[in-house]
Amino acid sequence: MTRPAADPRVSDASAPLVVREQLSATERLVEVAQSLSMARDLDAVMEVVRHAARELTGADGATFVLRDGDLCFYADEDAISPLWKGHRFPMSACISGWTMHHREPAIIEDIYADPRIPQEAYRPTFVRSLAMVPIRTAAPVGAIGNYWAERHRATEGEVKLLRALADLTSVAMENVQLFAELQRKMHEVEATVRARDEFISVAAHELRTPITALLLQLQRLEKLTETREDDWRPEKLAACATRSTAAARRLATLVDGLLDASRLAHEPMRLDLEEVDLVEVVRDVLARFATAARRAGCELRLHAPAPCPGRWDRLRLDQVLTNLLSNALKYGAGKPVDVSVHVPAPGAQLEVRDRGPGIDPESAGKLFERFGRSGSVTHYGGLGLGLYLCREVIEAHGGTIRLETSPGEGCTLIVCLPLEVPQSA
């Protein structure tokens, strides 16, 4: 019997259906790609993927699994009933771990007939069949799982869709990491710019003070030279010279601090070691601070029962004590300041104690940092370099410096020095 010829006016109804399904899946993948391109964190990525995995395959559930070392973390899910969200399982004890380890999909039509499935974990769930694909085949970072309540073997088309989704997910996760790193660097740059602007403001404020004082004294000297001879008094000239010297010394100290901080950012501190009596250094600095102490209303009291010889950098120790006394007079104005030197084995110990307001623990931890400070520039001034440079000098000598304080009870800065700088220091 001859088969009748096919009527060209009649088309195969199944072909357009397949095409429509393929177009629909492709369009959905395009939508997913667009949504993932806008995701800025992992939660947003997981929300897109868990919904898309179910829609693309018609599954009853989908999970988003992340690799966490040797564990599989079921981070998110979209299912008709709860699965394992929030749980972690060993890589060797779950199918997602097998997928990541072998870097290939796992297609299981009957979970109770596959030895890779941990039956006790699946028994309370609706799952009967599954398809699991790795996120990134080279060094997988996770997996996407699809689950069916009825027995179902994932088709080749469904697996291709899941693999395409996994590829999009991998790119999105990398983009999230890059975006987070970019955000972190932007915050660092912003913080650096803020710190720079604050430092410029502080430095300008601090440098202006001695410059203004110096200019005033020089202007006064200029006027004195223009007065009549009988108004030319030596004591007036001496007073102007003293104040000018003090302002210039303050300016030099600020500039030296800035230069030291700049050098220390690029090279270690260099020491010029010699035989030094620490008590002698302390006496010299105290004598230099006598006028400043009177102005601050502070009595300087030295407690040094015996000489304290050692091999140190004299100028650097002078710098340390100068900074410590400056702080003590600044914060403890109107009250006594005690300086102690003694030699408890195995080294020397220097203490400077004021009776000012003290410092809260949170601020105290920042004082030895570069540009660290407690209190506002308006009230106390300073570049925030003094104690930072003290720490650098003391550590270069192989010693330590620490602060003991509590609010309302003043501060004690304690310096411990070896009697000779170690070779490794």
Same domain, 305 and 252: no
pLDDT, position 419? 87
CATH code of 394's domain: 3.30.565.10
pLDDT, position 204? 64
Same domain, 316 and 405: yes
Same domain, 177 and 201: no
pLDDT, position 378? 41
What percent of the chain shows pLDDT beyond 90? 46
Same domain, 171 and 36: yes
Question: Mean pLDDT over residues 162-168, rounded?
Answer: 93
Residue 354: closest CA among 375, 373, 337: 337
Q: Which residue has the tokens 């410590």?
A: 324
Q: Quick: pLDDT tens for 176-199.
A: 888 888 888 988 888 877 766 666
CB-based burial of residue 277 (10 Å sphere; 0-12 exposed, 13-18 middle, 19+ buried)? middle
Mean pLDDT score of the chain, rounded to an integer?
83
Residue 391: closest CA among 342, 323, 340, 302: 323
Determine the Cα–Cα distance for residues 252 and 211; give it in Å rounded to an integer: 10
The radius of gyration computed from the CA coordinates of the chain, to the nearest angstrom, equals: 38
Q: Quick: pLDDT tens for 338-377.
A: 999 998 878 999 999 999 988 877 766 677 776 655 554 4
C-alpha distance from residue 353 to each of 1, 2, 299 (Å): 118, 116, 12
Same domain, 309 and 386: yes
Does residue 333 belong to any structural domain of this protein? yes
Does residue 290 belong to any structural domain of this protein? yes
CATH code of 241's domain: 1.10.287
Same domain, 412 and 279: yes
pLDDT, position 180? 87
Is the bond into 346 cis (omega within 30 degrees of 0)?
Answer: yes
Residue ranges making up the domain that contains 91: 31-182
Same domain, 169 and 196: no
Q: Quick: pLDDT tens for 9-49.
A: 333 444 444 444 555 778 888 888 888 888 889 999 999 99
User: What is the distance of C-alpha 397 from the center of its chain?
Assistant: 29
Q: How confident is the model at residue 281 (pLDDT cuts 50, 70, 90)?
A: very high
Same domain, 279 and 381: yes
Same domain, 384 and 243: no
Determine the Cα–Cα distance for residues 65 and 68; give it in Å rounded to an integer: 9
Q: Quick: pLDDT tens for 113-133.
A: 999 999 899 999 999 999 999
**Range of weakest confidence among 90-94, 194-198, 228-232, 289-293:** 228-232
Does residue 424 belong to any structural domain of this protein? no
pLDDT at 415 over 50: yes
Does residue 1 belong to any structural domain of this protein? no
pLDDT, position 383? 52
Specify whether the CB–CB gap between 130 and 108 falls below 8 A: yes
Question: What's the number of domains the chain is made of?
Answer: 3
Does residue 22 belong to any structural domain of this protein? no
Higher per-residue confidence, 260 vs 396: 396
Same domain, 45 and 89: yes
